[in-house]
Amino acid sequence: MKSTLLEAVETRFAEVEEKPLYSIATLVDPRYKDRQVQFFTKSGNLRLATDNLILEWRR
């Protein structure tokens, strides 16, 4: 049962890290300060989130 639930969660939320709104919100949330690496499963997603934040800030 646990493995089925884990698979469902991973499938449903697989692309959440890549969506700018959610990734930027994670970066600016003070609860996640200095621990962003732990909350992004793919190393490229942290860089993508940082780039999106910079682009949004420059607008």
Q: What is the pLDDT of residues 1-59, one digit of tens each?
A: 999 999 998 889 888 888 999 989 988 888 877 676 677 887 788 889 999 999 999 98
21: tokens are 């709104």
Q: How long a stretch of residues is the chain?
A: 59
Q: Within a domain: residue 6?
A: no
Q: Within a domain: residue 31?
A: yes
Q: Is the pTM of this model over 0.85?
A: no
Total number of domains in the chain: 1
Q: Within a domain: residue 24?
A: yes
Domain limits for position 20 = 15-58
pLDDT at res. 27: 86
Q: Within a domain: residue 2?
A: no
pLDDT at res. 37: 64
User: Torsion angle of alpha carbons 45, 46, 49, 53, nearest 10°?
Assistant: -170
pLDDT tens readout for residues 24-40 = 998 888 887 767 667 78
Over its C-alpha atoms, the chain yields an Rg (Å, rounded) of 13
